[in-house]
Homo-oligomer: A and B are copies of this chain.
Amino acid sequence: MPHDRSPARPKAGPVLTYKKAGVDIEAGDDLVERIKPLAAATRIAEVVSDVGGFAGLCAVPKDVDDPVLVSGTDGVGTKLKVAFLTGVHDSIGFDLVGMNVNDVVTCGARPLFFLDYFATGKLDPSVAERVVGSVAKACKESGCALLGGETAELPGMYADGEYELVGFAVGVVARKKIVDGTRVKEGDVALGLASSGLHSNGYSLARKALFDTMHLSIHDRPPELGGQSVGEALLAPTRLYARHVQAVLAAGVDVRAMSHITGGGLPANMPRVLPVGLALRLERRWLHAPIFDLVRSAGVEEIEMRATFNMGVGYVFVVPPGDADRASEALQAMGESAIALGRVVRVPVDVRFEERVQWPE
């Protein structure tokens, strides 16, 4: 812990050793030294350092009344396979932090700290450094401390050059300020934040569509992508919405619900934060990255596209109509144009979960 991932130990020369069994403690020690400054750069005031050889310590902020901890864990799915194929390991950490921290902030929480787990068959410290370095950069951008992590060398568990990457995020919110959707009313407005592409969901389907069905390679630059390669489009890092959420809350907007659009898309993720009997009516179309159209063109029907991918919207705020301008202005002030997606409408209480998002004709 605290990236003290492989304790120092005797380097003896016995008959059968841990190193001979495939676990290279020295490579691990090397990595720890490389990661230290990256993690240190993410420190926030609450981090309690120089303490806790076995764990990461972080104080509960004193300015949060009746604090509730908000936590989540997630990986980045088979987007990893795209990183392996392209050899680009500098952005996957943004996906990892995005998948976790974007979830945590939906409750109105301020991110506090993050931990990562990196596992591989044979440790390549330079790859691991790039991966964990990108985790650290994304933590910094999200305003949370990279408090610790684990690097596991598991001989025989992963194919050569592959790795698993898992994240854990913890945030904090005052109990009275928890955002949970229960106050959403008919007529409330949904404001969306654009996604950068697929983010970190639906890659098994996208890879099957692009590679197996269309026979594209990661290096191909089909005209639909406007100059980007398939690999570049697929690797577009997940956007980090923590600062957007803090800005909207700080502007005093009465945020009634927030949704992170991940696996299952809008139809799966919006109803999670809408009271029964209410639905989101999407009233306009919006731009999305060209990768969505390319995947669709492989023969994925629209209903499956919408039920798998974020379709260009990575995060949604639900606010009262009178607060929509203030929210948009707070976002505009940080260079973000909110998408006026539509409104909350009344539907029969027995309408199917996934039909509580109505698409424009």
Q: Report the bound CA distance from A119 to B76 in whole Å.
A: 11
Closest 5 CB pairs of A and B: A14-B301, A7-B268, A53-B272, A168-B168, A15-B299
- Write out, one digit per residue, whether chain A residues 135-170 have a CB within 8 A of any chain B CB (1) or not (0): 000000000000111101111111000101010101
Asked whether any CB of chain B lies closer than 8 Å to the CB of A263, the reply is: yes
Q: Could you list which residues of chain A lie within 8 angstroms of chain B, going by C-beta atoms?
A: 1, 4, 6-10, 12, 14-18, 20-23, 48, 51-60, 66-75, 77-78, 80-81, 103-104, 106-107, 109, 112-113, 115-117, 119, 147-150, 152-158, 162, 164, 166, 168, 170-172, 175, 178, 180-181, 202, 204-205, 207-209, 213, 259-260, 263-265, 267-269, 272-273, 298-301, 303-304, 307-308, 353-354
A175–B59 contact, CB under 8 A?
yes
Expressed in whole angstroms, the minimum distance between the Cβ of A83 and any Cβ of chain B is: 12
A102 (CB) vs chain B CBs: closest residue: B54
The answer on a CB contact under 8 Å between A17 and B55 is no
Chain B contacts for A162, CB-based, 8 A: 157
Residues in B with CB closer than 8 Å to A156 are 78, 81
Contacts of A166 in B (CB 8 A): 73, 117, 119, 164, 166
**Considering only CB atoms, which chain B residue lies closest to A17 in the complex?**
B304
> Residue A164 contacts which of B9, B119, B148 (CB distance < 8 angstroms)?
B119
Q: A9-B265, A71-B148, A77-B152 are in contact. List 7 more A-B contacts (CB 8 A).
A: A8-B264, A16-B213, A16-B304, A18-B204, A54-B72, A56-B72, A157-B162
Closest to A113 in B: B71
Chain B minimum-CB-distance residue to A56? B71
Closest CB in chain B relative to A48 CB, distance in Å: 6
Q: Is B267 touching A116 in the complex (CB atoms < 8 A)?
A: no
- Chain B positions within 8 Å of A23 at CB level: 204-205
| A268 contact set on B, CB distance < 8 A | 7-9
| A4 cross-chain contacts in B, Cβ below 8 A | 272
Q: Judge whether B9 and A170 touch: CB under 8 Å.
A: no
Asked whether, in the complex, the Cβ of A168 is within 8 Å of the Cβ of B73, the reply is: yes
